[in-house]
């Protein structure tokens, strides 16, 4: 019998939910998954990808991509709305409050251009060998590795409209391979560092709930947030989500209004930047609420839960949307670019991280996980060597974004330069080289480059 209401969107939501639940069970039961700290969302996404590709589950990749696109935008809006919690840092953290985040931001200012240059050079190499691939093919690698599946999806969708066939699947494949690099390389590095005595607080056995991903019965749970509105009036979580919805609505109408002012190709590209508009509007709304004296109503704990929920479902849906036939078609360039980026990124971060003033291993792992996966990956790797976050590195990873946003924004513009401004690949790589050298120079001038500590 035909349903009187359309169920397609909810069926996609249900499928992603089931894959995430299975991922949680597999993480709790399989020691190998625990050993490398693979998050349940990644495990569930891989399972979903297999089920969709073998035809056991009939869901079009476009539906999963659309779901992921909106989740990606929601996660950035929620980040923008999250209030910083006032806390007094300890003396050690206070002294390095800006040094650590600035070093991490500059490392990201090195890693993104480095990954883009490697990707662009391989486009040249394959073109010379007779295999023609789209001119921005290699730039999907830093979007996937450095920025995560959301940006790879968003920009890939726009580039498909510009003639780059299967850009979304290729970008999501790079993002998935970045996660594998983060954990397959990062976890052994963390364990090696602990054995060498390089961690300040490591060496302890990881708590069982961290390994399995499930809090044991009777164990004290971390609070999710606080109620800032009376439940007799409205559920606080509903209010927090409504703020996100309000910002999304404003962002949509703003981009729609701007789109009519530009040429069609630029107008399409604007929809790939909805997350930036959403983040900016969220920050303005938070500022206005602060000026009105009601910013306390935005609970940072619950907003972080919204961000985390969005990212978990985003990763499941993006990985499940990968089309294996397309990956196989481009297996050689994807494999060559990913392997080269993974190895060189690891070597560069190790080289720079050994030469900073303190917490070398902790900062290396935190930024390595971030520029090959997401900030969550960086925090997971950091927890291996700093289980209770006693070092200031976890806070530095959050503050890093303040310094990194201008550098990353310029990089996001540059990956579009061949399509928007008609730049040649050579000119674009030259511009990326300038950012890389400027970031390296800043590290030297700021004296973040000393003698090796190990």
Q: Would you state the pLDDT for residue 95?
A: 53
Give domain status of residue 4, yes or no.
no
Q: HSE-up of 213 (CA within 13 Å, CB side)?
A: 23
Q: Is residue 213 one of the residues assigned to a domain?
A: no
Query: Does 2 fall in a domain?
Result: no
Q: What is the pLDDT of residues 20-39, one digit of tens each?
A: 999 999 999 999 999 999 99
Give me 373's structure tokens: 């996966």
Is residue 274 assigned to a domain?
A: yes
The answer to whether residues 344 and 118 touch, using CB atoms and an 8 Å cutoff, is yes
CB 401 within 8 A of CB 84: no
Residue 220 covered by a domain = no
Determine the 3-state secondary structure of 324 from DSSP.
helix
pLDDT at 91 (0 to 100) = 47
The CA distance from 314 to 53, in Å, is: 18
pTM: 0.90
Check residue 420 and give its pLDDT.
87
| Res 104: pLDDT | 96
Residues 6+ positions from 418 with CB-CB distance below 8 Å: 135, 136, 424, 425, 428
Percent of the chain residues past pLDDT 70, beyond the cut: 96
What are the pLDDT digits (tens) for 207-236?
Answer: 888 889 898 888 888 888 999 999 899 999
Q: Is 305's pLDDT higher than 80? A: yes
Rounded Cα distance between 125 and 203, Å, is 45
Distance of CA 239 to the CA centre of its chain: 26
Residue 384 domain flag: yes
The predicted pLDDT at position 89 comes to: 47
Q: What domain range includes position 274?
A: 9-83+91-205+228-445
Q: Which helix (H) or strand (E) holds 269?
A: helix 264-270
> Which two structure tokens, joined as six digits, stand for 75?
């996660």
Tally of CB atoms within 10 A around 178: 30
Q: For residues 204 and 18, which has the higher predicted lDDT (pLDDT)?
A: 18
Whether residue 1 lies inside any domain: the answer is no
Terminal Cα-to-Cα distance of the chain (whole angstroms): 69
Is residue 127 a part of any domain in this protein?
yes
Tell me: pLDDT of 87 over 70. Answer: no
Number of domains in the chain: 1
Classified as helix, coil or strand, 83 is: coil
């Amino acid at each position: 019998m035909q349903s009187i209401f359309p169920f397609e969107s909810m069926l996609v939501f249900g499928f992603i939910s089931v894959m995430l639940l299975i991922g949680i069970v597999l993480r709790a039961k399989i020691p190998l998954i625990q050993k490398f700290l693979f998050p349940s969302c990644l495990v569930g996404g891989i399972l979903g990808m297999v089920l969709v590709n073998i035809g056991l589950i009939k869901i079009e990749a476009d539906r999963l991509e659309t779901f992921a696109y909106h989740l990606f935008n929601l996660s950035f809006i929620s980040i923008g709305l999250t209030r910083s919690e006032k806390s007094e840092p300890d003396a050690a953290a206070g002294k390095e409050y800006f040094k650590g985040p600035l070093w991490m931001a500059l490392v990201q200012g090195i890693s993104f251009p480095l990954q883009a240059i490697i990707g662009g050079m391989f486009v040249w190499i394959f073109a010379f060998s007779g295999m023609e691939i789209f001119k921005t093919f290699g730039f999907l690698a830093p979007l996937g590795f450095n920025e995560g599946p959301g940006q790879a999806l968003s920009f890939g969708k726009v580039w498909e409209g510009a003639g780059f066939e299967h850009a979304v699947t290729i970008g999501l494949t790079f993002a998935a391979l970045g996660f594998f690099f983060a954990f397959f390389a990062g976890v052994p590095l963390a364990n090696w560092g602990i054995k060498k005595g390089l961690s300040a607080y490591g060496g302890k056995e990881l708590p069982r709930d961290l390994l399995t991903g499930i809090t044991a019965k009777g164990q004290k749970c971390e609070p999710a947030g606080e109620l800032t509105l009376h439940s007799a009036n409205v559920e606080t979580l509903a209010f927090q989500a409504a703020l996100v919805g309000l910002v999304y609505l404003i962002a949509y109408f703003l981009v729609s209004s701007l789109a009519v002012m530009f040429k069609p190709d630029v107008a399409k590209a604007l929809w790939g930047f909805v997350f930036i508009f959403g983040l900016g509007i969220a920050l303005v709304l938070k500022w206005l609420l602060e000026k009105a004296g009601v910013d306390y109503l935005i609970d940072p704990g619950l907003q972080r839960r919204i961000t985390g929920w969005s990212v978990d479902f985003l990763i499941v849906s993006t990985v499940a949307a990968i089309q294996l036939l397309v990956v196989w078609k481009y297996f050689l360039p994807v494999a060559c670019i990913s392997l080269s980026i993974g190895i060189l990124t690891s070597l560069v971060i190790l080289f720079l991280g050994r030469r900073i003033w303190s917490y070398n291993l902790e900062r290396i792992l935190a930024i390595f996980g971030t520029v090959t996966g997401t900030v969550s990956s960086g925090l997971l790797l950091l927890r291996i060597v700093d289980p209770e976050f006693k070092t200031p590195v976890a806070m530095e990873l959050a503050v890093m974004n303040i310094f990194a946003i201008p550098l990353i924004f310029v990089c996001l513009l540059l990956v579009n330069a061949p399509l928007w401004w008609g730049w040649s690949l050579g000119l674009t790589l030259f511009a990326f080289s300038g950012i890389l050298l400027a970031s390296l120079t800043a590290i030297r001038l700021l004296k973040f480059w000393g003698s090796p500590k190990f």
